[in-house]
Structure 1
Amino acid sequence: MNTQTLALSFLAATTIGGLAWVFVYPLLSGEKQAESRRASIGKPEPAARQAEKTQRSRREQVEGTLKDLEARRQKEKRISLNVRLMQAGLASWSTQKFMTVSGILAAAAFVLAWVAGGGILGAAGLAFGAGFGLPRWGLSYLKNRREKNFLKALPDAVDVVVRGIKAGLPLFDSIKVVAADAPEPLKSEFNAIIETQAIGMPLGDACARLFERMPVPEANFFGIVIAIQQKSGGNLSEALGNLSKVLRDRKKMAEKIQAMSMEAKASASIIGSLPPIVMLLVYMSTPDYIALLWTHPTGQLMLVACVTWMSIGILVMKKMINFDF
């Protein structure tokens, strides 16, 4: 009886000890945690996590590129006269030549106003407008006309680049094709990209500098797409195809805005042209009555003030009817 009891007790104790060894000891000793750590080190990461890391890295590269471009634009916010001449398509003109032409225009306007009997004040005001305002207005007109011609041809040029890349041509050769067949000013701008890249500048940076010569958002989009693709890779044909669609949509939006604002532009043109037309009609009917404006000193002062206020009003109306998008 005692032997049986001792045997059962021994077996029970052995069973309990075995169970404790199997289930409790690994938790207390830390072997289970060590095995899980070793398994996690040796086990490869899931594909979804790797894709997420790759996407995060690409997003960081894109954000870094955009920040660099924005910082560069902020530094170059003040545009020099040489850059304005280049943007207007007058790259062959120097600053001295532009100043000389402005001075000649101012002197000619002063002499003509003095000979016509406009007085010293009227002649000085006309000389200032002809020497300072007229040349810069001409630069602005040439710049806007050049930008319109560039935007008209850019979507087709991007499509040519996309088709060349899909056909197996490198990006640089596709840009050469555009530079050979595109109309001006797109041809000269893409030739400038080729020349800049030929002297050692990376193609992404050369395309990013397009915005300096052609300050329109579409040129900035093209430079950003090329710069990001050169740094982080990706499907360039797909990215440029999307860019072409965006450019065409922006063109449609600009035409729609222009059509919707034509009524306001016509009203502003009529309001701005009424004072000169009335002045001309009064001069044709009674010239002695209105001649006091440029023969009498008080009239000259009033005429200069009227021209100043009319110019301010025209600029305000122009600002109100021009829509940025």
Structure 2
Amino acid sequence: MPEGDISVFLVAMLAACCVGAIVFVVAYPYFAADRQKDMRARALTEDRARLVAKQTAGEQAASRRKAVTDTLKELERRQKAAEKASLRLRLDRAGIKVTTKVYWLFSVVCGLFLAAIVSWSLPASGSKEIVVIAVAIVGTFGLPRWVVSKMTNRRQAKFLAELPNAIDIVVRGVKSGLPLHECFNTIASESAEPLATEFREVVEHQRVGIPLSEALDRMTMRVPLSEVRFLMIVITIQQQAGGNLSEALSNLSSVLRDRFRLRMKVKALSAEAKASALVLASLPPVVMFMVYGSAPDYIMPLFSTRTGNLMLVGSACWMLIGVLVMRKMINFKF
């Protein structure tokens, strides 16, 4: 090869190497970033697979149970949001065996009676009519509803106190070979109220051909407690999938007794705080009535003047805020 051709070849090779080096320098960061990204993704995937492989069967089962529990809670929350208790259902929950017409008649009579008492006791003033109308509205719509709510809570507390004993009756009956219907019939005839009434409704529903699951679902509507829902779920699952019903109900009875003991302990520990809140909330109205009884001319400007009315409204708002704050402080959820 002539010397000139060798020189041209060497120059061409050198130029190619320079061009290749420039391309490598410019393009390397992009290729390196992609490679590093792939390596990081591969490392994360391998770590995830390694962690999943290290999980024991118990941890996986616990994870599945947690997922199922969260799903059930979400379904229960949606169901509660969709449910609207009618007046008839509220009366059934309170154990009041009257019609809705009788309830509204009693409410109107209660409102008129309270309005008449307030109208007779208050002297004539510019705000007397407003006070009388407000008392009539509260007496018609507020006071009967509050009474029904208190009766419902008292009835549910009695039901919850006797429910573990009823479950124990079912457990002993199932172990001795009795059918579930006969166990419920025993509870309906020998248990205390209101447990006997509710289980008597379940037995009557079964006699007319309503399935047990639907009858228990209706009982959960009349007694909307989580413990009753637990009982319904246990019995329904046993009927659909089988299993040892006596063992499941025995465990449920133990759980309900533990929950009841915890509730009583919380009630005992919070009794002092509730008494203090009651005293603080009732002190201003009691003092106002005492002053009105001893020196009515001294306190009457609060009712006969606009400035006094504004002061009463402001004081009532502040008292309501204080009562709600104290209620929030002593209302323990567990």
Q: Same fold (TM over 0.5)?
A: yes
- CA shift, 1:196, in A, is 1.4
Shift of 1:68: 11
Match of 1:18 in 2: none
- In the other structure, the counterpart of 1:218 is 227
Report the Cα offset of residue 182 of structure 1.
Answer: 0.5
Q: 1:134–1:308: structure 2 CA closer, same or farther, 3 Å change rule?
A: farther
SS at match of 2:333: coil
TM superposition shift of 1:307: 3.4
| 1:111 match | 116
- The structural deviation recorded for 1:259 is 1.4
Which of residues 216, 222, 229 is equivalent to 2:238?
229
After superposition, the Cα gap between the structure-2 partners of 1:132 and 1:210, relative to the gap in structure 1 and judged at 3 Å, is: same
Kept in 2, the 8 Å contact 1:87–1:213? The answer is yes
Distance 1:300 1:138, change over 3 A: same
Per-residue deviation, residues 20-56 of structure 1 (Å, max 9, x unmatched)? xxxxxxxxxxxxxxxxxxxxxxxxxxxxxxxxxxx9x
The count of residues paired between Structure 1 and Structure 2 equals: 267
Unpaired runs of 5+ residues, structure 2, are 1-60
1:208 to 194, 203, 217: 217
Question: Counterpart of 1:253 in structure 2: which amino acid?
Answer: L
Q: 1-side partners of 2:264 and 2:162: how far apart? A: 15
2:290 match: 281
Q: Give the structure 1 partner of residue 191 of structure 2.
A: 182
1:83 aligned residue: 89
Q: Deviations over 1:125-182 (max 9, x none)?
A: 2112211211011001100110111011111111011001111100110110011000
- Larger RCO (alpha carbons 8 Å, 6+ apart): 1
The SS at the match of 1:206 is: helix
Change (3 A) 1:72 1:275: closer
| 2:160 matches 1:124 | no
Tell me if structure 2 keeps the 8 A contact 1:209–1:223.
Answer: no
Which AA in structure 2 matches 1:123? V
Q: CA RMSD in A?
A: 2.7
Q: Report the TM-score when normalising by structure 1.
A: 0.74
SS in 1 for 2:178: coil
Q: 1-side partners of 2:179 and 2:74: how far apart?
A: 26
Give me the identity figure in percent: 47
**Unaligned 5+ runs, structure 1:** 1-54
2:272 counterpart (240, 253, 263): 263
Alignment deviations for residues 62-96 of structure 1 (CA, whole Å, 9 cap, x no partner)? 98x95897388346532221111110111x32222
Contact 1:205–1:227, Cα closer than 8 Å, also in 2: no
Are 1:161 and 2:170 matched, yes or no?
Answer: yes
For the 8 Å contact 1:153–1:186, the answer to whether it is kept is yes
How far the C-alpha of 1:204 sits from its partner, in A, is 2.2
Q: TM-score, normalised by structure 2?
A: 0.73
Change (3 A) 1:86 1:136: same
Structure 1 pair 276/318, CA: closer, same or farther in 2 (3 Å)? same
Instruction: Quote the Cα distance in structure 2 between the aligned partners of 1:68 and 1:192.
Output: 29
Which moved further from structure 2: 310-319 or 196-205? 310-319
Q: Are 1:272 and 2:281 counterparts?
A: yes
* Partner-residue secondary structure (3-state), 1:200: coil
Residue 206 (structure 2) pairs with residue 197 (structure 1): yes
CA drift of 1:294 comes to 2.9
